[in-house]
Structure formats: C-alpha cells, structure tokens
Structure 1
Amino acid sequence: MTNIDRRTFLKETGALAIGPVVSELNGLAEGSAETKPLPEPARTVAPFEWRAEGVIFSFEFLDNRLRIKSILPAGVAAVDGIPAPTSSSGVEVAIHCTGENADDHHGTKFTGGMPGGRLVYSGKEESAIATGKRMVLTQIDPVLGLKVESIYESFHDIPVLRRSTRVTNLGQREVGIEYLSSAMLHNLAMPRGYEQELLVHFAFNSWQAEGQWHALKPSEAGFLDNGNFTLSAASFNSLGTWSTQKYLPMGLVENKRLGVTWFWQIEHNGSWHWELSDTSAKAVYAYLGGPDAQHSQAWKSLRPGTIYETVPIGLGCVQGGVEQAIEALTEYRRAACIHPHSKNRQCAVIFNDYMNCLEGDPTTEKELPLIDAAAEAGCEYFVIDAGWYAELNEDWWGSVGLWQPSKTRWAPGGLKYVLDRIRSKGMIPGLWLEPEVIGIQSPLKNKPDSWFFMRHGRRVIDHSRFLLDMRNPDVRAYLDSVVDRMVGEYGVGYIKMDYNVDGLEGTELLADSFGQGLLESNRALLSWHDGILNRHHDLVIENCGSGGGRMEYAMLSHLQLQSSSDQEDYRKYPAIVVGATAGVVPEQLATWSYPKAADGPDAASFNMVNAMLCRIHQSGELARLSDDSMAQVKTGIHIYKENIRPHIPNSSPFYPLGFTDITDDRSPIALGMRSSERTFVAIWRLNGEERVHVPKLPGDLRILYPADLGIRPEREADGWTLIFPRTYMACILAS
C-alpha cells in the first residue's frame, strides 16, 4: 500500500509492538537536515514567562522536563484559581511514536504519549522578527534521538501568535510519528469546576449551512465529568481535502469565572484535529493539531537526518468573550494571513452568472443581456461560471479537465467575443476553474496513474472525477499552462477556483500513509497557487469548495476571496453570513445577492443587505428584474461603494443578537461591522414579529439602506427597535 507501513516499520526497526498502537500523527513538511549531535540538556532550569503582546505564557519544570503552567492575558493573575501542573499534565509538546508506551489511561485522547512525556529541556532562543518577536524552545529525547522545537511567533499589538512544532531525527533509526501537536493549552479550568466554568464554542460548517456556531457546556460537547478523570473528549476534526466540510477549523474555550477566552484557528487545507479534555491528573487541556494516524491515517516515518513540521496554529487569549476573541482573530488574519498580492482592500463588486441565474449553462445569447445589466448595476468584475468549456450536448460536470472553450456555446465570435464585451462595458472578465480534478469523461483520464490519487492500487474516483495529485510536477506544469492561457490568451483577470469533491483519506503513492500523501499534496497545492500569483500579480483568485468547503486560512493565506456558501435561498443566507464572519475577514468573504425575475423590491433589497457588509457577489436574473427591483440593486451597490466598502478592510464583526440558527425562520438576525470611524448594522426580519429590538446599539444611527420601503427605526433607552411592515425585509443602519 505504501512505501512502509507501521507493521513493517516495527519489524525493521526492532521496536516493540505490544498490541495495536492507538495514537496519531500531526505534521506537515519533511525536509533534510545536516546530521548533527543531539543538543545537550539544559544544566539548570527555572520557571520563566514569555510575554507576547498582552498574553503571558508561563512555563515551569518537572525535574528538567518543560511544562506549561498557563496562557493568560496580562491582566489576569496566573494564580487566580489555576492549578499548577502535575507530573502527567502540562506537556509543552504532545508527541507519540510507534512502539512507545502511551503511559496514561487515555482511551481515544491524546494523553500519555511518549516521548512527549519524557522530553528533556535543552534551551530557548529569542529573536526579533518583522511581525514582532520569535521564541524557539528546544527539547530532546535521547532515547529516540529526536530534537523537538516549539516555535512561537508574535504580532505587534495583537494578542495572537502563530505556533508550530518541528521535529528533527538526529538518531540512527527511523522513527514512526503517530501524533504531534502544533500547540497545547493546559489548566483551562479547575479540575472539578470545568463543567460550571467553561463554554466550548465551535461552528458546524455543512454544505449550504456554513458558519453555524454553538456554545456548549463541556458535557454537552462530549467532555464528561465522572468525578474522577474522563476517557472522553470534546473532539473536533476533519478528514480529507474539504477541510471545513463539517466544522470550521477553529475553536474558542471561554472560562466564565475568570472572564477569559482562549481561541485558535488551525491553518491547514487538509485533515486536522483538536480536543478538549482532562488528564489522569485531572488537569484540563486542549490539544491542537493537523493530520494524525488515529483520525486521518497520517502516520509518518521520520528517517534519520530528516525534519518534520506541523501545520501552523493561530493561537490567542483575551479578557472577554466571543466578540473580543473574534476581533483579535480578525486583526491577526489581516496581519499574518493575507497574501501580499491581494486586492482585498479594494472590495470590488463581482458578478457571477451561476447562482439563481445560468447555473452551468452559459451561451453568448444568455450572457450578453446579463453583461449589460451587471454593468448598469455597477459591477466591476463579470465571471462566467461552470460550463463554458462543455459542448451544448455534453455533461459539464464529468467532462472537466481540458479547459478549452466550447465550440457550440459561443457563436458567433467564440468565447473571446463575450470576454471582449465584458471589457467594453468597463468590467474585468473572469472564468470558473476546477483544476484539481479530471472528469471520468475527459480525454485526460488516460494520463498515468502517477497523476492521480491512488488507494490500494486503484484510482480514487469521487462523484465522477479523478483527483489530481498536486505533488506531481507534470500535473502542476499542465495546470500552469491552463492558467497562463486563461490569463495571457483570454485576458482573464479573475478565476473562481472551485473544488467539488473530497479526497478523504488521501493517496498512497510515494507516501508513508494515505494521510501523509494527502498532507504533501495539500502543501503542493498551496505552493502552486503561490506560483500563479507570483506570475500574475493582478489576478484575483476566489477560493471555493462547493461554497465554504475549504473556508480556512491555509487557502486564504494564498488566495484573495472565499465563497461563503452555495445556499440558494436568500432567506436562509443571513444565518450563514453572520457565522461566517467569525471565520473569515469581511473583505475576503464573498456573499451572494441573487434576486430572481419574480422577486419584488423587498426581496431584492433583502438580497443586497445579505452581501453589503462583506464582499458583494452579485448574481440572479438582473436582466429580467422589474424596474423597482433593479433600482434596489443599483442603489445598494452604489451605497456599498460610496459608504461601506472604504471601511470594510478596517472593520471587525460584532453580533448584537448573537449567532443564529439556519433552521429558525422566525427569530430576527443582526450583524454589525465596526471600524474606528463608522459602525454599520444589518438587521433582518424573517417570518417573525414586525418589531425587531436590537439592544446596545449607539444612538447616532440612521437607516442607510433601503430608504424607500417603509422600514422605521425607533430609538429606545437600551438600543433601537426597527419596524418592518412586511416579513422577510432587511435594512442597514449606519453611524
């Protein structure tokens, strides 16, 4: 199946194999290292702190083994009810290797891993970097000959840092890594108090129902207080190439007694795992990492002289709750995660012809009136979505791969005529592309197996597509030629990069395990994207995975926009937009507005409000709208350009009515965006009462949009009440 599996590894290395190893792996890249002696253990050790922009990391030692005592905001006393670590809690790195004793009553949790528990502290190095400062803690395992480096990087004025772990094999034999943490948190609550003290915040992220946030007590999330210590955990993970197909790869743990919230995002476009539980010493911990052997079949054989590095984690801690944590993450994402070639801050208005419009069946005849209407409405990009390459009698889904314009859809004049028409109307043309797949009906299906994901000697087929292995240089060269042709020959300035299948476990070719093949292909994809933007600086690339299937900051560190959803019912969209703003900065969050021909002004304006506090992704039957409905679209886009978008790249979201539930069609919804200069609040009435009260809003607000549909604001002592004369109406207030 692979180059080397765990059974073969144990036999060849002579490691003891007493029963199955139930553990995991959590890593990123492997590279070569000069063969050097193992660093010496530190001769003396003493507790120390590391301060990073308002967050204090407190470390101490069990003999000469490094332990984390706490991670807290500078204004919170570390001794305020936080227990000291014990001999089996507080490991700074959790690592378990094949053949080692998992020395804990752990069940499926990641506790007791060895050599993690026995790592010996060697020292630390601190340095200034462009973003702030950097600390590297070094630990060693003389038994296996491992050097383990914990990397902490801070960012100016932001209580968030980036954390990763690097392991170098300086020994004489291969070491099998089952799991390796990117970061660990410890002592998040009192051992017997966590059920009362903690709230676990997480977001379901299902197709057409993205960004659904929930706040649960530990027991409701699976971390059960049995009076001793538990073998269960509040556990969240993802498997495959749809990195956000069930959850957003982030979490928040709020200690209500301390008034403190810890938060993180896992910056990886593949499999990942985090868990919250307690150790056998009853200390509450969180494990944060990428792919591992237990959850994602990502076992790694680390050969002598090689290096293995985990996926990075954005990690922080604030005094306050969810809104304060999201504000800090929003600042961090802007400082650390946005591609230098990004055009996000311009917040251009994009028309895309798919949603509630052509839906994969474009032709010259259908596009021309849409182009005219989009230009009249004020759109600045016009994107032709799926189907532009398929012949009229051909299945556009299963034929992907060649990416040549259809001969039968674009007559007369070909695709170039339509793209020129877009440019003549003052808009930049764009095309849809799904580069990582080959349809089973495509001529490229005859390429060698080395082009594709393979498992058990056979190609992986998912929903009528073969999955391309981005590690293969021939694959990347072919896809480079496709993109270069689209930009150079067609003059395209925008590409919607979609991905509508899932690689699940991964691929076996040239890999120690399925999950390692996936991990390496995940990284090769990011590198390929960087190559595109390095060649084509003005190109805008949208990240789409059937909507929000890859809505995370590995992809969004390399691409400019994120498709928020494939949701087709505009009435359900507000519940998605609100939650998605906690996962993506607003200037990257592309949100649909797609009125249909039968929709009146209420529906048209509701659609516009859905999109106007993020990035407008306009679609719908613009060329067939009534004059009144089209006027709402044109006015909304004009107000967006003149009043809202200049402030979006400096705004942070807030949630006047909390997070929402897409299954609730009665409760009103509100989303705020606040910068140092302006405040905007979108308010939606669904199928509930006409009076919508929104507390704690400033008094200097006015209705910005729409101004002509009879919506009335009333100022009250504790906020505002909006009176909506009809169901499914929406408005934006502005300071």
Structure 2
Amino acid sequence: MPATRPTEIIWRAPRITLSFAAPTDGPVSVLSLRPADSPAPAPVLAPGHGEQPLVELTAFGHGRFPGSFRHVDTIIGRTLRYVSHQESARAGWHELRILQEDPALGVRTSSVFEAHESATAVRTWTEVTVDSDLTLDAVSSFATGSFLADAGVASVDRLLLAHADNDWIAESRWRVEPLRTAGLADVGRAAHHHQAPRTRISLGNRGSWSSGEKVPTAAIAADDSGYSLAWQIEHNGPWLSEIGENGHGAYLLLTGPTDQEHQWSVRLRDGETFVSAPASVAVALGSAEDALRALTQQRRAIRHRRPADNALPVIFNDYMNTLMGDPTTEKLLPLIDAAADAGAEYFCIDAGWYADGHWWDGVGAWEPSLRRFPGGIAEATAYIRTRGMVPGLWLEPEVIGVRSPLATTLPDDAFFSRGGVRIREHGRHLLDLRHPATRAHLDGVIDRLVEEYGVGFIKMDENTMTGPGTDLGGLAPGQGLLEHARALLDWLDGVQARHPALLIENCASGAMRMDYAMLSRLHLQSTSDQQDPVAYASIAAAAPAAILPEQAGNWAYPQAGMSDEARTFALVNGVLGRMYLSGYLNRMSALERTSVREAVTAHRTVLTDIRERQPIWPLGLPGWSDEWLALGLQRQDDAYVSVWRRSGADSATLSLPWALGRDIAVEAFFPTEVGTWSWSWDRSAGALHVTTTTDEPSARVLRVRVE
C-alpha cells in the first residue's frame, strides 16, 4: 500500500502490465493493458480518452443514465471511488485487488486480477459487498476503454472484431470484420453535439449451453495488426460480451448473467458478497490471431491439471458414423479388437448401453441393459481391458427422463422448476445440483460405474438446455441457474478427488458447453457432432482458437470402402488435436487398417509435445465455407501444419512469417506418401505455396522446420 493516495496505479506482472486511473472525483478505470515492457503507443487521443469505469453495476432502483440496452453508464459505477489496492504473489501467480466504494449506498467492490508468469494475460472478476439491502441485476466482471489508446488509433473505424457463431454440428464459425460492420453504427456524432451513440455489439449465450449460440471467446484488433486484445468468459452458464462507443471513445464490458438478458438478480443484505463470473483477457502486439494464441498459455495456466491428465490417450468411441447409440456385446467385440489393433488406448461405449430400446425420455438410473449385454456390461468392459485399453461409458448425468422411475422417487426440489411447476424439456427433467439428493444419486452412479465396471473414462453429455433457470426458493431464475452451475463444478471437483484416475470428456450436443469453467477441470472437449468429414475440417481447424489443442477432441471416422483421399481427409481431421477415433475399423482391408495405424502413430508423435505448441492459422481464422483451410501447431522453428482443400482452386498460399527470409524443410508427415500434393517455398515472402491435382476433397499434414 502506498503511503499517499495514487492518481495512477501501475501493476507489473512478469508478462503483462496494467495501468489504472484513480481520480478523486471519479471511479477507477483501465488506462492501458499491454505486454510487459512494451513501449507505449504514440498519443493519438484526447486527455481522458478511454476512461471507461472498471466496474459497472446496476441494482433495483439504481439503473443507468442515459437509459439504454447497454450495461455501461451505470449510476453506481460512476459513484464508486478508489479506496485502496493490494498486490501479492504466490506459486507463479501475481494478484492485484482494487477496492472501491460508494459509502452513501453502502456498496464496496473489489476488482481482482490474477496474472500467471507464463501468460500475457490476466484473469479477472468483481466482488460486490453490500452493507444494507440491495438487489443487484447486472455486475461487470471487467470493463475497459483502453484498447483504442493501446492500439494507437483514434477511432473504432480502425478496429476489427473476431468472433464465432456456434451451433449443433455447425461449431466455431469464425468471422473477422470491422466493428462498424459488426454492429457499431456511425451515427454522425458531430451532428448530435458529439453525444455518445447507444448502439452496441452484444455477444452472449443463454441457459446452460455456454456456447449454444456464440463461442465465449473473441478478440478486438487494430486493422494494422499492431495491437490486439482477446478474451474468454469462464462460466458454464449465460454470459455477455458488450462492445460500444462512449463519450471517450469505445468500451468492452464482460459479464456473466444479467437481468435484462438472462432473468438474473440477487438480493444482498448485511455484508453479503456476490462474486461475478471470471474472465481472462490476453493482449498481443499483433493481429487478432496473435491475441487468441496468447489465450492458449492462459488456458494452460488456469487448468486444474491432475497427474491423470498428463496422459493423453488415443480414444476410440463407438458412436460417430458407427453404432450411433445401438451398442451390443456382439457388435462391440470386433470393434474392440480393431480399435486395439489400430493403437487406441481407451475404448468408450457411447449412448444406448443402459436401455433395451428407445431410451431418450427414460434415462436416469444408468443401469446396463441385459438385452444388449446378456453376459452383463462387465463382459465388454473386461474384454476392453484384456486388449490393453481402458473402458469408458457415455453418461448424461444432469437429466432424468420423464418416463424414468427416478422422476417420481427423487424429491420435487431436486429438479429445476418455475412457479412450482417442474421443468420438462425435450422429454427430460433437469436435475438441480444444489440438492443433496441429486448429489447423492449422481455420486452413487459414478462410484458404481468406476468400481463395478472398471470405467476409467466418462463421456459427459448434456443434450437438454435448461432455459433461464429455476426459481425454487424465491430466487430469480438466473440466480438459481448460477448457483446450480457452480454446484456442478463443485460436484465435478468431488468426483475427481474420489477418482483421481478418471478422465472426463466435456460434451453437450457436441460443443454447446465449450467454456473454461468446465474445461479448467475436464480432460477433453468434444468439438462437434458433425458427421461429414469435409464439413468437420473447418471445426477442427478453428477449435484451438477457443480451446487448448490438447483438449480438442476431433472425430476421425474413416470407413471401409472410402477412396484413399476421403479416408486420409477423415483422419487428418484428428491428427492435430486429440484424435477421437471411430468408424467400422473391423470391416476394413489390410491396406485401410494400415492407413489408420499410420494416422494414430503420427498423432502420437504430435502428442509428445502438444502442450508446448501454439496454434497458428496460415490461411487466417477458418471460415465455415472456406475452400482451403489450414491449422498449425508451432514450437519455435518447428510446426505441424494440416492443410485441407475442400473445393475450388487447386493451390493456396500459406503465410509463415516466423520463417520469413530463412530456408525451411517441408516433409509429408501424414500420410508420408506425397501423392497428388506438391509445394514450394518463397523465403522472401514467407509464403508456402501448396498444390493438389485431385478433384476430390483432399488433406495433408505437413511438417515444416527452419533449417
């Protein structure tokens, strides 16, 4: 603590520096957020530019001025004043806490920043304490107007937004576009006495699908690629990113649930505290892709990695384009043999193992079907182990089918409800993880699967979205959902503490819950349910923009009878990431099986140092309909690069600026046969020209090394 009151706070962590204004007559605001030791840009802005309050919050009776749909210009946010700040360090983490208060209203806020020594990023959230009686209905986790000054530009006309739409079988559809195109209208401020416009760009999700419509990761970048800022909101429920213009220039606000968008509010009394959803913010002196890449190290820093997570097994799953939820002992045994012969280390029996027939609205007990497994499912799981693999099972723990006996035996308040009526969605009721009966039921299920059947892997799915939440106990539905979401994380922590060797995959109709509240804990993320390998290519190429490559579970589902190019294409999808192998390998010819084994071997080579590699996109962030796609995993002067040609021109030019002006060696990594592909290197331009002469969709993985 300084002896005198500061007017500016400068916080220097090993990889990042933040500066804040702390005026006597206004709230704290972020002035700059830059990589450590980077020079400040030349001033292009008027004094005071960018002074967006760090904390914005609204409460019943305390809204905004002027009124709008935006979550800035809040009355309480303006009346907060600096009180103190504290810095501390522990085990590689550096922490800053900035305390503000509005003594007249009895509100105190603590803005918390954590920076790990390995990442050019901070993790941040807001803690609000109320001495009297106040119902909060929106609390920012972070807000800044600093990025214009940090980018050295005077107008949002010079800024780009990188963001991704998300949906079932259409995940990670990235776009990079000017802020003006994305939704910030130029309203002609001079004609309106330079008043701030009220338009905003609003990115967000509702309910329990944190990535049901938008990926909770995005970036802002200067159009000259001189500065960029990326963020991710780390909440397994609803969230909001908001970008707009204000009287000083522009702002970015990150928050969890709000009343306006998500029916969230919470009443605080007598010293109670609310903690907002955390978010991570990363910066780079480069493009939006550079800032997104900076988030990679942040994700590694915030993971709760256990010894079991250090193993990165190749997993075979019987579902995709294979058994499709219809497993039996008879069907599984030849697949188990084929998966083991291909080099898989885990074998997951997917949906259907618990039901004799139609199962969608009858799930909940998770007892094996004797019709499917006459000798018991233990016969199949034991056989998996005799073939040197670890058995896994698909599970959807958070639902009870409306036809399940548990729908009547569990207490009513163990389920989500609204107005005293139990929620029924898509033939399911939704379990509330706050209730002890729910926890006891799910703990019993997991313990039984692990202890009786030797299960070492759970594919944890969630196919039913909760809606706004539950109002049980008189809470706002959004607060009920928030408490449930945090209870779910607590339950997962308990499961992993009891079963430290158990690996859990995060799945929700593919990637509908692709957030780092879940992924900080879980081993693997399903990137899609997409069944077309050609469509899957853009999903696989884009996944590391939002998740770690070592957590990106990309399906590779080759089939007997595919052409060589089609089979290779399907396998390339899984090589850079975490290969999630499927397909009727048992029906393949010897040549086809050899190709699969070659892909698994290549993938295992990638896994040896995948946690030390950063994603690169030599053709830019992948677009959903792009004809050519490329993803690389780079470590210093060495990169694996997957290249997909889906249609169109027979050649493309990959940008490799890290090899500019140097000689490189390029080799066919998978498959090792070049086939119809060729390439040439332009060292003066840092450009790798690749060509394929086949008319089919075609893909290759190359290895590129500076000589």
Provide the TM-score with structure 2 as the length reference. 0.93
Summarize deviations over 1:369-388 as a string: whole Å, max 9, x none.
10011011110000000000
Aligned residue for 2:70, secondary structure, equals coil
What's the offset of the Cα at 1:167? Answer: 1.1
- Cα distance per residue 1:661-719 (max 9 Å; x no partner): 3234xx21111111237310111121223334334375211001113361332323232
The answer as to whether partners of 2:226 and 2:285 remain within 8 angstroms in 1 is: yes
Tell me by how many angstroms 1:232 deviates.
1.1
Q: CA deviation at 1:345?
A: 3.9
Secondary structure class of the residue paired with 1:151: strand
* Aligned counterpart for 2:632 among listed residues 672, 681, 694: 672
1:409 partner SS:
coil
Please say if residues 342 and 540 of structure 1, whose CA atoms lie closer than 8 Å, have aligned partners that are also in contact.
no
TM-superposed CA distance for 1:80, in Å, is 2.3
1:649 and 2:608 matched: no
1:221 is aligned to: 182
Task: Report if aligned partners of 2:31, 2:51 keep a CA contact under 8 Å in 1.
Answer: no
1:96 maps to amino acid = T
Determine which of 95, 116, 130 is the counterpart of 2:57.
Answer: 95
Determine if the alignment matches structure 1 residue 262 to structure 2 residue 268: no
Q: How far is the alpha carbon of 1:153 from its aligned partner? A: 0.9
Deviation at 1:134, TM superposition (A): 0.9
Structure-1 separation of matches of 2:561 and 2:399: 36
| Secondary structure of residue in 2 paired with 1:202 | strand
For residues 45 and 667 of structure 2, the distance between their equivalents in structure 1, rounded to whole angstroms, comes to 46
Residue 631 to residue 234, structure 1, CA distance change in 2 (3 Å): same
| 8 A Cα contact 2:619 2:653, kept in partner | no
Q: 1:721 aligns with which of 675, 679, 690?
A: 690
Q: Tell me the residue number matched to 1:312.
A: 278
2:241 maps to a residue whose letter is W
Shift of 1:76: 3.8
Deviations 1:89-135 (A, max 9, x none): 421211112112522x2411112212111012111111112223111
Cα contact 1:163–1:313 (8 A) shared by 2: yes
Whether contact under 8 Å (1:160, 1:332) holds in the other structure is yes
Match of 1:376 in 2: 341
What CA distance in whole angstroms lies between the structure 1 residues aligned with 2:510 and 2:95?
36
Maintained 8 Å contact 2:208/2:467: yes
Cα 1:333–1:342 change in 2 (3 A) is: farther
Matched, 1:185 2:178: no
Letter in 2 for 1:314: S
Deviation, 1:576, is 0.5
1:85-234 correspondence runs (5 A):
85=48, 89-103=51-65, 105-169=66-130, 171=131, 173-189=132-148, 193-228=154-189, 229-234=196-201
In structure 2, what is the Cα distance between the partners aligned to 1:79 and 1:707? 50
Instruction: From 6, 13, 16, give the equivalent of 1:52.
Output: 13
8 A Cα contact 1:299 1:513, kept in partner:
yes
Matched residue type, 2:335: L
- Specify the code of the residue in structure 2 equivalent to 1:174: D
Aligned pairs for 1:609-688 (under 5 A) are 609-641=572-604, 643-664=605-626, 667-676=627-636, 678-688=638-648
* Corresponding letter in the other structure for 1:319: L
C-alpha distance in 2 between matches for 1:363 and 1:590? 25
**Deviation of the 1:257 alpha carbon:** 5.0
- Return the offset for 1:263: 1.2
What corresponds to 1:492 in structure 2? 455
Which one is further off, 88-97 or 602-611?
88-97
Match among 563, 577, 589 for residue 552 of structure 2:
589
Bigger drift between 671-680 and 514-523 goes to 671-680
Residues 52 and 192 (structure 1), Cα distance of their counterparts in 2 relative to 1, 3 Å cut? closer
CA distance in 1, matches of 2:221, 2:208: 30
Displacement of 1:448:
2.1
Give deviations 1:188-211, integer Å, cap 9, x for gaps: 337994342100111111111111
**Which residue of structure 2 aligns with residue 555 of structure 1?**
518
In structure 2, what is the Cα distance between the partners aligned to 1:310 and 1:368? 49
1:286 to 247, 252, 273: 252
CA deviation profile, 1:472-508 (whole Å, cap 9, x unmatched)? 1110111000000000111000000000010120000
1:502 alignment partner, one of 444, 453, 465: 465
Deviates more, 1:401-410 or 1:210-219: 210-219
Runs of 4+ in 1 over 6 A off after TM superposition: 40-43
Which segment is superposed worse, 185-194 or 225-234?
185-194
Q: Of residues 183, 196, 214 in structure 2, which corresponds to 1:247? A: 214
What is the distance in 2 between the residues matched to 1:354 and 1:269?
Answer: 25
SS in 1 for 2:120: strand
- Pair 1:517 & 2:489 matched: no
Using the TM superposition, name which of 414-423 and 619-628 deviates more: 619-628
Please tell me the residue identity of whatever aligns with 1:202.
Answer: H
Taking only the aligned residue pairs, the percentage that are identical comes to: 37
| Preserved contact between residue 192 and residue 227 of structure 1 (Cα < 8 Å) | no
Contact in 1 for aligned 2:11/2:17 (Cα 8 Å) = yes
Aligned to 2:192: none
Q: Which residue of 2 aligns with 1:466?
A: 429
What secondary structure is seen at the aligned counterpart in 2 of 1:401? coil
Distance 1:722 1:335, change over 3 A: same
**Would you say the 8 A contact 1:290–1:311 is kept in 2?**
yes
CA distance in 2, matches of 1:660, 1:139: 42
| C-alpha distance in structure 2 between counterparts of 1:84 and 1:489, whole Å | 68
Unpaired stretches in structure 1, ≥5 consecutive residues: 1-39
Q: 1:464 deviation in Å?
A: 0.6
Tell me whether 1:705 sits opposite 2:670 in the alignment: yes
Instruction: Measure how far apart 1:722 and its partner are.
Output: 3.1
User: Does 1:276 find its partner at 2:243?
Assistant: yes
Distance 1:334-1:185 versus aligned 2 partners, 3 A rule:
same
Shift in CA distance, 639/143, structure 1 to aligned 2, threshold 3 Å: same
The one-letter code sitting in structure 1 at the alignment partner of 2:545 is A
Give the Å deviation of 1:511: 5.0
How much has 1:728 moved relative to structure 2?
1.3
Tell me the amino acid that sits aligned with residue 115 of structure 2: S
Deviation at 1:53, TM superposition (A): 3.1
For these two proteins, the number of residue pairs brought into alignment is 684
Say which structure, 1 or 2, has more relative contact order (CA 8 Å, 6+ apart): 1
After superposition, what is the alpha-carbon deviation per residue over 1:597-626, rounded to whole angstroms, capped at 9, x for unaligned?
Answer: 332322221111100010010001111123
CA shift digits 1:10-56 (9 cap, x unpaired): xxxxxxxxxxxxxxxxxxxxxxxxxxxxxx99974422311223433
The 8 Å contact of residues 289 and 621 in structure 2, kept in 1 or not, is answered as: no
Mapped to 2, the partners of 1:563 and 1:489 lie a distance apart of: 26
C-alpha distance in structure 1 between counterparts of 2:275 and 2:656, whole Å: 45
SS of 2:536's equivalent in the other structure is: helix
- Closer/same/farther in 2, CA of residues 269 and 84 from structure 1, 3 Å limit: farther
Residue from 695, 699, 706 that aligns with 1:730: 699
Q: In structure 1, what residue type is equivalent to 2:226?
A: G
**Does the CA contact (< 8 Å) of 2:235 and 2:515 recur in 1?**
yes
Asked if structure 2 preserves the Cα contact closer than 8 Å seen for 1:41 and 1:121, the reply is no
Contact 1:577/1:591 (<8 A) preserved: yes
| TM-score of the two chains, using structure 1 as the length reference | 0.90
| 1:356 maps to 2:318 | no
Residue type of the partner of 1:466?
Answer: H
2:289 is equivalent to residue 323 of structure 1: yes
Report what 1:690 is aligned to: 650
- Pick which of 497-506 and 66-75 moved more: 66-75
Distance verdict in 2 for CA 1:266–1:429, change over 3 Å: same
* 2:193 matched residue in structure 1: none
**1:36 counterpart residue number:** none
CA distance in 1, matches of 2:366, 2:236: 24
